[in-house]
Amino acid sequence: MTTGLKRRIVAVTTVLAAGMSPALAQEKITLRLAESLPAGHVIHELVAKPFMELVTKATNGQVTFQHYPAEQLGKAKDMAQLTVAGVADVSYVVPSYSSEKYPLTAVAELPGIFDTECQGTLAFYKISHNGGILETREFGPNQLRPLVTIALPAYQIQLATSRTVKTAKDLEGLKIRTTGGAMDLMMRSIGGVPVRMAAPEIYESLTRGTLDGLIFSYQSSVSYDFGKILKAGTEGLNFGTAIFTYSIGETKFKSLPENVRKALVEAGEQTTREGCKRFEDGEKVAAEKIKSQGMKVIEFGAEDKKVFDAAFKNVAEDWVKDMDKRGKPGTEVFKAFTGALAAGR
């Protein structure tokens, strides 16, 4: 090979290397995505899977994911702390499972507070990102960065007990699974007994009779196959909801290249906006499926609905007072969230 040819090859190689995209020029990155959810769960299919695909596409394949479902890397209640510690890189985190560290996030779980799921979802995203009050007062101090934030469809009461329920009073004394926080307050306000429990533990408790029922979305109930043991459930009410996130530890986030951080943030926002609509559409389908398995709809009367409305209002007031009493900015967070809801109507 002549000296001139060698020089031309070196020159061409240099030009090609300079023109390569940063993603191709940089080292491949594999992120561990952990979930407490079973494989194939609706939340994974409608949220995590599209999110991973968006990130991989935006980085031209530089970032790929290893998926760890079904609590393989840790229990649901511990996932926030495990993510911050780096056991997992990106995780399905339900803040109310760690309500001692994330009490303020329960503002979006208050019963009756929003009209549609996307309205609640986007309002929560607003106050938990870009300098919002939940970012500065809760997620940031706990070194957790939410990427995707979704409010599930309005939760309904779903019962596996043989007790006949026709009025609000018939719910008194029933042991109902909640996720903690505002949902506990709501359950007590209508006379029920809240039992805080992570989702993977519910089925066995319902079949054993240690739980009478649960407050859940119908899509999640379908994913856990609760339909075959449910006897009665509500429709068209809002007994609160649960906020879930796909989050990354702040230390891990800051260690990633700038283009990867950008891809994670942008994919998170896009998945949030698109994911809430997917859930809105899917909830009606899921409810019909469970009814086809034998669940009867509880038809509450107008007076019962007044009872619920009054209870929901009291729950919000009590939640704000409790947060303020504990030295948390409950009033400020409530105003920020309801303001974001109003702006989105």
Q: What is the pLDDT of residue 19?
A: 43
Q: What is the mean pLDDT of residues 96-118?
A: 93
Using alpha carbons only, give the angle 83, 139, 54 rounded to the nearest 5 degrees. 60
With a cut of 60, say whether residue 206 has pLDDT above it. Answer: yes
How confident is residue 115, by pLDDT bands cut at 50, 70 and 90?
A: confident
The CA distance from 238 to 43, in Å, is 20
Q: What is the mean pLDDT of residues 92-100?
A: 93
Q: What is the pLDDT of residue 183?
A: 84
Q: What is the mean pLDDT of residues 116-124?
A: 95
Q: What is the mean pLDDT of residues 1-23?
A: 42
With a cut of 80, say whether residue 4 has pLDDT above it. Answer: no
User: Structure tokens of 119?
Assistant: 């309205």
Least trusted range by pLDDT, from 83-87, 91-95, 222-226, 254-258: 222-226
How confident is residue 15, by pLDDT bands cut at 50, 70 and 90?
A: very low
In the chain, the percentage of residues whose pLDDT exceeds 70 is 92
User: Structure tokens of 124?
Assistant: 């929560």
What the chain holds in terms of domains, given with CATH numbers, is 26-151+244-283 (3.40.190.170), 156-241+289-344 (3.40.190.170)
Is the model more confident about 20 or about 339?
339
- The chain-wide mean pLDDT, for the chain, equals 91
Residues 149-183: tens digit of each pLDDT = 999 999 999 999 999 999 999 999 999 999 777 78
With a cut of 90, say whether residue 23 has pLDDT above it. Answer: no
Nearest to 290 by CA among 152, 116, 158, 155: 158
The CA distance from 219 to 153, in Å, is 9
Pairing label, strands 156-159, 213-216:
antiparallel
The CA distance from 62 to 23, in Å, is 5
The CA distance from 220 to 171, in Å, is 22
The CA distance from 14 to 239, in Å, is 62
How confident is residue 345, by pLDDT bands cut at 50, 70 and 90?
A: low
The CA distance from 297 to 322, in Å, is 34
Phi, psi of 37 (to 5 degrees): -70, 145
Q: What is the pLDDT of residue 35?
A: 98
Q: What is the pLDDT of residue 262?
A: 98
Residue 12 gets which letter from DSSP? H
Residues 290-343: tens digit of each pLDDT = 999 999 999 999 999 999 999 999 999 999 999 999 999 999 999 999 999 999
With a cut of 90, say whether residue 138 has pLDDT above it. Answer: yes
Q: What is the pLDDT of residue 14?
A: 43
The stretches of the chain forming alpha helices (DSSP H) are 3-19, 22-25, 42-43, 49-58, 79-85, 117-128, 133-134, 182-189, 202-208, 218-223, 250-255, 258-292, 302-325, 330-344
The CA distance from 305 to 168, in Å, is 8
